[in-house]
Copies of this chain bind each other. A is one copy, B any other.
Amino acid sequence: MLLEIAAQQFALHGFHKTKISEIVKEANVTQPTFYLYFKSKDAVFQELIQVFKEKLYNHVAHSKLPADVAKEGLLSRIAYGLSRLFEFFKQNENVARIGFVVSEEAKDIKVQMALKIEENLIEEVENGYFTTDINLNLVATTMVGAIEHLSITKLWTGVHSPEELAQDFTSLFLCGLKNN
């Protein structure tokens, strides 16, 4: 409960504007109680980042394509993965905001994600699904920036569903504006 409320507050206000006094007030406990369960403000924050990292790790680890999708084209496969990622972000908004947006570690996490995506892209190229002159790390980085900003402005605001986002995102990145 405390951890959840902390997540909510950090996600909502960021690290500095979040006050322990506010967290405990929302949780209907006193400040010393907070320190029974967490070492410090920094510690909870780190714990929440850790939670996000683990969830993300699990998500990626279990992201095998269903057989039917695997057989379809590249586009379907990517769209499916993205849709699951946006779904994951939606289901875990608070920790995702913390680990992917507001924390200092978000930078590293996004770099890692970009590397992972780059890897996948390279594999696709190696498998002959497409060829390109564009620096694939740049592509991956671009995608990560897009994922973050779309989550903030369209996903977490409820403007678009994970599927819609994944759909348009994928056709945009695969086919470009000129080929739709």
Contact = CB atoms under 8 A, between A and B. Distances in A.
B134 A180 contact: yes
A174 B176 contact: yes
Contacts of A64: none
A148 interface: yes
Copies of this chain, count: 4
Interface in A122-155: 129-135, 138-139, 141-150, 152-154
The CB with the most chain B CB atoms within 10 A, among A111, A149, A169, is that of: A149
Interface residues on A, range: 35 or more
The CB with the most chain B CB atoms within 10 A, among A17, A135, A172, is that of: A172
A148 B145 contact: yes
Contacts of A177: 121, 130, 132, 134, 139, 173-174, 176
A112 to B, nearest CB: 12
The CB with the most chain B CB atoms within 10 A, among A17, A74, A139, A168, is that of: A168
Contacts of A139: 168, 172, 177
Interface string A1-40: 0000000000000111100000000000000000000000
A111 B153 contact: yes
A17 to B, nearest CB: 7
B134 A168 contact: yes
In the A-B complex, the 5 residue pairs with the smallest Cβ-Cβ separation, listed nearest first, are A145-B149, A176-B176, A16-B16, A132-B180, A175-B176
